[in-house]
Each structure stands twice: as C-alpha cells, then as structure tokens.
Amino acid sequence: MKNAIIIGILLFSSLGLFAQKGEIKIEQDAKLEEALEIYASHTTDREYYTIQVGFGSYQRAENLKSQVDVDFPGWNSKIIFDSPTYRVHVGRFKTKLEAERRFLEVRQKYPASLLLRPDKSLR
C-alpha cells in the first residue's frame, strides 16, 4: 500500500515534466480593423440628450462647471463655446426619458437650465 502511494505521487509529479509548451499566433483579417473603426465612429456619433445649466463669460462658465461637478459628481460636464458665450452642459443621456428624469433633478438646483438634444455637427 505504501509503495502504491509513492508510485502514485511520482506519476502525478512527473506529468509536469512531460507537459508541452505552446505558442498561439492569431492572424487578424484587415477588414476587422475597418469594421472596428466603423463601429467606433457609429457609437461616438450617436445622438444624446444633455442639460445646459447656464452660460456667460469664460470665467462664469468655469465657476459654474466647478459648482456642477460638486452638485452632480460623476456626470459628464463640459464647457462649450457657442459664439459669443460659453455654455455649461452636464450629462450624456441616451434616452429622452432618462434625460427628463435627470433634468428635473438639475432644475431644482439650476432653475434656468434647458434640456437639449445637440446636432451631430456640434459634438
């Protein structure tokens, strides 16, 4: 019985000695890169809703954006220049329902805010 255990241990430990090392080489079709680029451009050009919380001079927009970042952390806020003023937008919402719900939250803090659906050319 003791010999069987020793032989079993030796057999299982020797399996690692006979293991084969392999190398995987993946060949990617050139059209896959083109498809990925088309997909990326499609997803970034997708329309979305956003909320404009205010506008004014660059300094006012910077101050407003800082305050929005504190009030709504994790929301995507940015300053957009639309001559002659700077506008502060917050959020990127895929559906109108989601945007309207968030708009009600923002409107409590910023009553002059507007719900927008920007043209693709402005993004």
**Nearest alpha carbon to residue 120 among 51, 45, 24, 34:** 45
Say what the pLDDT of residue 82 is.
85
Contacts of 46 (CB under 8 A, 6+ apart): 94
Say what the pLDDT of residue 109 is.
94
Q: How far apart are CA 73 and CA 108, in angstroms?
A: 16
pTM above 0.75, yes or no: no
Q: What is the mean pLDDT of each run of 10 residues along the chain (123 residues)?
A: 75 62 79 77 69 94 94 91 92 90 94 83 46
| CATH, range 47-122 | 3.30.70.1070
